[in-house]
Chain A
């Protein structure tokens, strides 16, 4: 017994002697602690931005989104052209090699797009099944023909990562899930699940070798631990600085906080089902006017959010700068409710996630309190996202809090999911969880499906946006989130966050 204690003390004291943690890393190596774990290394198996940000380092799409503005730029395709309403022609880059040495050519593109429709390995079945044929004209030219016109098809090409046909077919399916072989700026080195992912620079990268040679990603989902890891110097960059720790992080002289307005807007969805109070636009307007968004931004988001008057953000096709928020006006709200015959208010359940957006549950609580001031009795029902999202998808809710941004920078696709009447035949309205339905909206929306010309799309989508936000009040917009990152000052890293929150390490330099 005594020996055991002695041994323990000996071990502990030896370790204390060695002291001072924090590894000395090679000059161009960084350790990054994002707030999400990767699910897999199969680039088609996870369509969330949390997952895509990992794949984007190992793989390339036909196109890419570059830098802090998210500009669409060539990647594995040097150029592309829309031949007609359905056909897209891509001229592929020559001389690109996968990390295993195989050459990249048209067969890999065909293989990739066919793989998308297999639900066993893909969450992009929607894109996969929208494709009719993939024609290989020669080794470096392909024509992809879709079943229906998809105006935003090319806009989404930065999310579809090209895989190597030969090796993917030859490898064990389980191996494909955990090891990435792409053409990307970084080669996959090792993934120890729950611990870290290591990658090293692809010196033969077609865009030139990236400046940071070694990247170690150590996801830390627990926010206080992430903060401790940063302060103790164990990591160089963290994503998702929690707003409640913001002041602490900012006051630390060793750390620099980088803010970036996010693309995602947070809003409330309302039903207009016949028989519900919200059927009356005056009620929806009153609810809008009763919410003190300024206070939500100040008190709950601690200033890290910006007013939203609509769902899309400025660079998105369909954003209309002229749309303004309805002012916060309790008297007006009460008056509107009185006119609508709800002078004494009514009861409604507000659903929302509690583990998805920044301060989501607290925002919902605040909304409930504001609505109580005009007599609307809100029952709160916030729950984990894994339960909440299926409920929205099944249309079981009347009033809920949700956030959205569209990776295509074109609101067309999103509006079909969010605003169109639920229609399983046509595949519309899957995320219209409150069953909002308006034939005028549907008609205008359907008319945009065939519009290819960007200027024309912009015009109609803006018209649609105005109709939804001003004339009909389908949603109550709240705010755009602000993404917060923190980096070690001493490292001299040059890092400007992307609008889509992806961590693309080739864009970081010393």
Chain B
């Protein structure tokens, strides 16, 4: 098992604890800064009062709404009050739908989560699988084609992939639906589309669209890693020991390549959950990204700021979990 290098002592609990605490503090600062940015930007995105007071309201009536929302107060008072309320779990009410902003976002979470988890599974399995295949025979014609295709996956914009898939599979061939989530089933608070055939049919095109970029990245990463590892001494040793090719490739080589691949997958997972906006818009997927876009159009400030804070939280947590896992998987890595 030469592949693991020399073993060192696993990081002690206290070092890990300090690390996590430090990351948590950083995370809180990032979230605060992100929300503060939102409030500053809101100063330039138009007056929300005009959009919510009704088109025949008088100036006086608009002023009343402004006071009701506290929008007549200076910026720092508004921000301070928002943070204070947020600390108490109250992120304010949406200006547009007049219901709590956080609930509005959480309601959309299952749709996005299911889309992303399927997309990531697709990207990971196909990307890594193809990556291995390509690395074994890099100069075969078929594999060159796959590599060229992966460039396409990276460079073709998501919206174009989405529209092309809709044109082909919904409009011309007509076997997959063009939009929405289809039939959903409620399991507790979670509304899932994974338990119905209709729901799964609706999931395929958006999941492929969302997976495409990541698939290409993982494929190229795996291929590069595999090609490098396959020339290592210990692989030659493994071959010369007469081990079965499957064992050499998967157990000895791929395992080492997987560490950066898993890292990237984890990092992207957070980002996809927070920002699968384009895919969700094209397929009218009722997820969080779609909500964010609508809220930006409508200048629904409480929803936007809550969303940005949540997105920051998701990405920070994903990064942190990856970092911690990394330290556990690979003891060579230290955080001190």
A residues at B contact (CB < 8 Å): 1-2, 4-5, 8, 11-12, 15-16, 18-23, 37, 39-40, 42, 45, 47-48, 119-127, 129, 174, 177-178, 192-196, 218, 220-222, 224-225, 228-229, 231-234, 355, 384-391, 393-394, 413, 417, 424, 427, 430-431
Hey, which chain B residues are within 8 Å of A8, CB to CB? 121-122, 125-126
Minimum CB–CB distance from B58 to chain A (whole Å) comes to 3
Q: For B158, list chain A residues within 8 Å (CB).
A: none
A222 to B166, CA, bound (A): 13
**A21 in contact with B126 (CB, 8 Å):** no
In the complex, are the beta carbons of B53 and A125 less than 8 A apart? yes
Q: How far is the CA of A22 from the CA of B176 in the complex (A)?
A: 9
CB atoms of B179 and A228 under 8 A apart:
yes
Q: When the two chains form their complex, are residues B47 and A390 in contact, meaning their CB atoms are under 8 A apart?
A: yes
Task: Check A1 against B68 for contact (C-beta < 8 Å).
Answer: no
- From A2, A37, A124, A413, name the one whose CB has the most chain B CB atoms within 10 angstroms: A37
Residue in B46, B166, B178, B191 whose CB lies within 8 Å of A192: B191
Chain B residues, Cβ within 8 Å of A47: 54-56
Number of A-B contacts (CB under 8 A): 195
Given A386-B297, A389-B50: A120 and B98 within 8 A (CB)?
yes
Q: Kindly identify, within residues 247 to 268 of chain B, every residue whose CB is under 8 Å from any CB belonging to chain A.
A: 250, 254
- Picked from A121, A124, A192, A195, the residue with its CB within 8 Å of the CB of B98 is A121
Given A37-B294, A125-B61, A228-B170, CB of A417 within 8 Å of CB of B56: yes
Residues of B within 8 A of A391 (CB): 46
Closest to B64 in A: A119
Decide if A21 touches B200 in the complex (CB within 8 Å).
no
Chain B interface size, under 10 / 10 to 19 / 20 to 34 / 35 or more:
35 or more
Q: Quick check: A196 and B98 within 8 Å, CB to CB?
A: no
**8 Å CB contacts to A: which residues of B178-195?**
178-181, 184, 191
Inter-chain contacts of A18 with B (CB < 8 A): 197, 201
| B99 on interface, CB distance cutoff 8 Å | yes
Q: Are B108's CB and A194's CB within 8 A?
A: yes
- A11, A129, A390: the one within 8 Å of B51 (CB): A390
Given known pairs A174-B99, A229-B179, the reply for A119 and B299 (CB within 8 Å) is no
- Among B54, B100, B174, B177, residue most surrounded by chain A Cβ atoms (within 10 Å): B54
Q: Which residues of the partner chain A approach B201 to less than 8 Å between Cβ atoms? A: 15, 18, 21
From 40 to 71 in chain B, residues with beta carbon under 8 angstroms from any chain A beta carbon are 45-62, 64-65, 68
What residues of B have a CB within 8 angstroms of the CB of A127 in the complex?
A: 56
Closest chain B residue, CB of each to CB of A231: B171
Min CB gap B168→A, angstroms: 11
The one of A5, A178, A228 in contact with B126, judged by C-beta atoms closer than 8 angstroms, is A5
A168 smallest CB distance to B (angstroms): 14
Expressed in whole angstroms, the minimum distance between the Cβ of B66 and any Cβ of chain A is 10
Question: Are B58 and A430 in contact, with the CB atoms below 8 A?
Answer: yes
B287 contacts the other chain (Cβ, under 8 Å)?
yes
B284 and A225 form a contact (CB under 8 A): yes
B204: Cβ under 8 A from any A Cβ: yes
Asked whether B150 is an interface residue with its Cβ less than 8 Å from the other chain, the reply is: no
Closest beta carbon of chain B to A386's beta carbon, Å: 4
A125-B57, A129-B61, A195-B180 known; A21-B174 Cβ under 8 A: yes
- Asked if A195 and B286 make an inter-chain contact with CB atoms under 8 angstroms apart, the answer reads yes
B211 CB to nearest A CB, Å: 11
- B282 beta carbon closer than 8 Å to chain A: yes
- Smallest CB separation, A437 vs chain B (Å): 16
- Does the CB pair B174–A232 fall under 8 Å? yes
Instruction: Determine if B91 is an interface residue (Cβ-Cβ < 8 Å).
Output: no
For B202, the closest partner residue in chain A by CB is A21
Set A21, A192, A390: member contacting B50, Cβ < 8 A: A390
Does B291 reach chain A (CB closer than 8 Å)? yes
Bound together, the chains give a CA A121 to CA B65 distance in angstroms of: 11
Report whether B46 and A389 are in contact in the complex, using a CB–CB cutoff of 8 Å.
yes
Verify if B146 is at the interface (C-beta below 8 Å from A): no
Complex interface residues of chain B between 188 and 222 (CB less than 8 A to chain A): 191, 197-198, 200-201, 204
Q: Does B167 contact A (CB under 8 A)?
A: yes
Task: For the complex formed, measure the closest distance between the CB of B171 and the CB atoms of chain A, giving whole angstroms.
Answer: 5
Given contacts A8-B122, A47-B55, A193-B108, contact A228 B184 (CB under 8 A): no
Q: Which residues of A contact B297 (CB under 8 A)?
A: 355, 384-386
* Most B Cβ at <10 Å: residue of A5, A125, A388: A125
Instruction: Return the chain A residue nearest B288 by Cβ.
Output: A194
